Amino acid sequence: MKNVYDFHVKDMDGNDVSLEKYKGKILLIVNTPTGCGFTPHYEPLEEMYKLFKNKGFEILDFPCNQFANQAPESNEDIQKFCTMKFGTEFPQFDKIDVNGENADPLFSYLATEKPFKGFGKGIKNLALDKFAKLNNNKFGDKAYIKWNFTKFLIDRQGNVIERFEPTVDMDIVKQKVQSVL
């Protein structure tokens, strides 16, 4: 049976990385931008990382520019932004596509394992839903990820156990991570 350990990704320098490197750890895999209303999620993500990294927790950050051109910078500039503005220390990987014909296979797999079920209720969530649909129309049935800061929680066996849309409160994400640690 396939799991996340079967995938290879590229680090910020373009080197091949097997996700088997993270075997036995709890992972939170997230697609990120630098210029989005959800970019402040970096702060609670880094807090979680510092709190739980010694308990076998890793955050794997994959920059993506497919949502309203909100991550146009180079890998180097994205990394500088994240470390200087939010003090991030968790691993950041090569900028990727998460949707369309060139979608990274890891994200296609993650989204197939835990499909999109909506952004939730409320005016902001409904507005994001409409905007995301317009943005993602060009990807058709390969619109796996609906917006920036979609997070996937992976258990120690490499199975996808939860999907968090960017509209999910970060305290809920933290509680779920803590419960599986």
34-to-41, 104, 105, 130, 135 alpha-carbon distances in Å: 11, 19, 23, 22, 18
Nearest to 115 by CA among 166, 149, 152, 154: 152
Catalytic choice (12, 17, 36, 51): 36
According to DSSP, residue 160 is labeled: E
Pairing of strands 151-154, 57-63: unpaired
Indicate if 36 belongs to the active site: yes
Active site residues: 36
